[in-house]
Structure 1
Amino acid sequence: MELIITSIIAFASTNIDDIFILMLFFANKEYKPKQVVLGQYIGIIALIAISFIGSLISLFIDQKYIGLLGLLPVYFGIRGIIRLIQYKKENEQEAKVSTTRSNKTLSVAAVTFANGSDNIGIYIPLFATLLIHQKIIMVAIFLVMIAVWCLAARYLSKHWAIANTIDKYGHIITPIVLILLGVYILYESQSLGLLW
């Protein structure tokens, strides 16, 4: 029972910020729910895999380098702002960028992964203290929690007040949130010093 509670707390505490980001993705009509869910699973599973490996070689991974993942949401945010500016300058047909399904899924996965430096920072020492069967149980609980997170974000994105706000301002809010998230990750992990 203690392992279950620890797993839920570890997941919730490191992914609470993902709820808002997932809501933005679910509310964005360019993203299909399957793409968001699959991207979230890919991103979290990648974080878990790196944490597993990191728990084996944790002495060699500096948190500052992990924090450089914060550059990914900054990139996606800047790209979103550029697209928004282009959209205003061009007509709707010209401004729409054709993106394949896998690119949308990978965008969600990349943002999830980039937002996960805190996950890695928590999961590595946590995994380092667990036996293999405990790690398997914890990962299974994490996989269930991803579904819970996606369901909660999807539900909240459909709530009329939230959905209307996101629908009206989401295309503006999302790039700003991504840039702020990236800067926060870089700041919290003390990675800014590595950039200059």
Structure 2
Amino acid sequence: MQNIPLVTMLFIGVNLDFFVILLFLLQKYSFKETLLGYELGMLFVFGVSALAGQLIQSFIPEWGIGFLGLIPIYMGIKGEADDDEETTSHSRKGIIAVLLMYLVSCGADNIAVYVPVLATMPSTSIIITMIYFIILTVISLTLAYFFGQLPIIKNIFERWGAPLSRIIYILIGLFVMIDTGLIKHVIQLV
């Protein structure tokens, strides 16, 4: 790894906003489900950035990525799933929900930030950086878990967690659609 402070700041910078979302996700899904979804999302984004970040920008206009914003909006409108579903099904749904939330809220921005940094690294440094990011993901999720266990935070989530998370999902979706220029593009078409 070329520069530990640089890649540490890179990870923190692109995942800081997701830390707040982790607080909500940990109230809804188990630590294991959240960890697996978060790790899979981070690894996917990292892999795309390291291998094909430039190609994505060539084939898909930035505004096209904005359609991904519909996923958290749907999750926010739909709300809670039925509680009588099987545990394994719920577990998979939790992992997929966290994965999708990470990809939608962080994917495009993280790719845009990762690509220039990773493009300057040799292959061995990229692999070491990926392993380092896996460790940082576990650390950030653990911090979010313990922060979410503080009595005042726990009380807020118990009382307002479900409606707040639905609102946040919808806002994330709208932000993605605005940030990628999708809404501006649609307005120009009309």
Q: What band does the TM-score fall into relative to the shorter chain? A: 0.7 to 0.9
Q: Is the 8 A contact 1:63 1:121 kept in 2?
A: no
Select which of 30, 33, 36 maps to 1:35: 33
Q: Counterpart of 2:45?
A: 47
Q: Counterpart of 1:87?
A: none
Q: Counterpart of 1:91?
A: none
- TM-score of the superposed pair, with normalisation by structure 1: 0.84
Give yes or no for the alignment of 1:167 onto 2:185: no
Q: Counterpart of 1:114?
A: 104
Give me the whole-angstrom Cα distance separating, in 1, the residues matched to 2:14 and 2:149.
Answer: 24
Runs of 4+ aligned structure 1 residues displaced above 3 Å come to 193-196
* Deviations 1:153-181 (CA, angstroms, capped at 9, x unpaired): 10111011011101111011001001101
Further displaced range: 58-67 or 160-169: 58-67
How much does 1:123 deviate? 1.1
Q: Is the 8 A contact 1:47 1:113 kept in 2?
A: yes
* Deviations 1:6-54 (CA, angstroms, capped at 9, x unpaired): 11111111111111111111122xx221111111111111111221232
Q: Structure 1 counterpart of 2:96, which letter? A: L
- TM-score of the superposed pair, with normalisation by structure 2: 0.86
Q: Counterpart of 2:8?
A: 8
Give me the whole-angstrom Cα distance separating, in 1, the residues matched to 2:57 and 2:179.
Answer: 20
Give yes or no for the alignment of 1:188 onto 2:188: no
Q: Counterpart of 2:123?
A: 132
* Deviations 1:63-90 (CA, angstroms, capped at 9, x unpaired): 333333222211211111xx59xxxxxx
How many residue pairs are counted as aligned between the two chains? 182
Q: Structure 2 counterpart of 1:122, which letter? A: V
Shift of the 11–79 alpha-carbon distance from structure 1 to 2, 3 Å rule, reads same
Q: Is the 8 A contact 1:48 1:123 kept in 2?
A: yes
Q: Counterpart of 1:17?
A: 17
* Deviations 1:97-134 (CA, angstroms, capped at 9, x unpaired): 52611111111111011112211111122222222122
Shift of the 63–97 alpha-carbon distance from structure 1 to 2, 3 Å rule, reads farther
Shift of the 97–173 alpha-carbon distance from structure 1 to 2, 3 Å rule, reads farther
Listed as ranges, the gaps of 5+ residues in structure 1 are: 85-94
Q: How much identity, in percent, do the aligned residues show?
A: 23
Q: CA RMSD in A?
A: 2.1
Further displaced range: 98-107 or 59-68: 59-68
Q: Is the 8 A contact 2:69 2:104 kept in 1?
A: yes
Shift of the 159–42 alpha-carbon distance from structure 1 to 2, 3 Å rule, reads same
Give me the whole-angstrom Cα distance separating, in 2, the residues matched to 1:49 and 1:13.
Answer: 18
Listed as ranges, the gaps of 5+ residues in structure 2 are: none
Q: Structure 2 counterpart of 1:20, which letter? A: V
Give me the whole-angstrom Cα distance separating, in 1, the residues matched to 2:10 and 2:95.
Answer: 25
